[in-house]
Amino acid sequence: GLELSHCVGTNSLGPAGPWRSGGPCKIKRVRTVFKPEQLERLEQEFLKQQYMVGTERVDLAATLHLTETQVKVWFQNRRIKWRKQSMEQKAAKLSQFGVIQPASADSTDSKDHEEDTVDVEL
């Protein structure tokens, strides 16, 4: 669902609505809270395949009582987490052998992944 965030700075013409460009009211997306059973099933599916598309995604969403978009976004976010964990494991192995990676590449990479993370509920 969508909620309106607290409106600040109303003018004499009345409060600005979310439909007005540049108005102080913004639409806030509510974070989806998954049930443990849903997360367990999503993780099981992710272990089988990192990409869920088409009828598989529709069927899984229906089974879990989620929207297709929620399943799609969960998979996107999970892939980002998986890649980050893979990179950390690789870095740990390299450090065991005395190979040190530059710190600048690590901080840049985490910033890029942060921008990719999406949490949407429709």
Which tens digit of pLDDT belongs to each residue from 93-103? 888 887 665 55
Any domain includes 88? yes
Could you list the beta-strand ranges (E) of 24-117.
Answer: 27-29
Domain region containing 84: 36-94
Any domain includes 1? no
Query: Cα(47)–Cα(85) distance, rounded to whole angstroms?
Result: 14
Q: Provide the pLDDT for residue 98.
A: 78
Domain count, the chain: 1
Any domain includes 108? no
Any domain includes 8? no
Any domain includes 71? yes
Question: SS3 for 66?
Answer: coil
Average pLDDT, the chain: 77
Q: Provide the pLDDT for residue 7.
A: 53
Any domain includes 101? no
Any domain includes 31? no
The stretch 25-36 carries a mean pLDDT of 87
CATH at residue 62: 1.10.10.60
Any domain includes 89? yes
Q: What is the pTM of this model?
A: 0.59
Helices (H), 12-102: 36-48, 54-64, 68-96
The listed range with the strongest mean pLDDT (15-19, 75-79, 90-94) is: 75-79
Which tens digit of pLDDT belongs to each residue from 60-73? 999 999 999 999 99
